[in-house]
Amino acid sequence: MIGRLNHVAIAVPDLEAAADQYRNALGANVGPAQDEPDHGVTVIFIKLPNTKIELLYPLGDDSPINGFLEKNPAGGIHHICYEVDDIIAARDHLKSTGARVLGSGEPKIGAHGKPVLFLHPKDFNGALVELEQV
């Protein structure tokens, strides 16, 4: 059901410092910052030959990243994102296996302009999983 690894998301306490580190120390192709108000984050994508890194920074006081950074002040891996061909079929299959879909269970539009869902980390070995329809 899952396809390619789309990205690994890292929550960071300082978005520009993190982007500069990838750009200057690692020589990575760092994209521009983009606000995603529906998700409460500002993101920067780092393009790699085989996947992407998504830097996450809180957008507003209600951002889900605030709580993560309170527990992990230096930042850290927040979630992994896999591609799926049909997000509704993937959701329905996962729910039939007992996996919990976070939020309303309905896809939202993610940072790439495509439908996404998040799966409960307790159902996936402690990892928050995002699914993105391609």
Active-site residue set? 130
State the SS3 of the chain. Answer: CCCCEEEEEEECCCHHHHHHHHHHHCCCEECCCEEECCCCEEEEEEECCCCEEEEEEECCCCCHHHHHHHHCCCCEEEEEEEEECCHHHHHHHHHHCCCCECCCCCCEECCCCCEEEEECHHHCCCCCEEEEEC
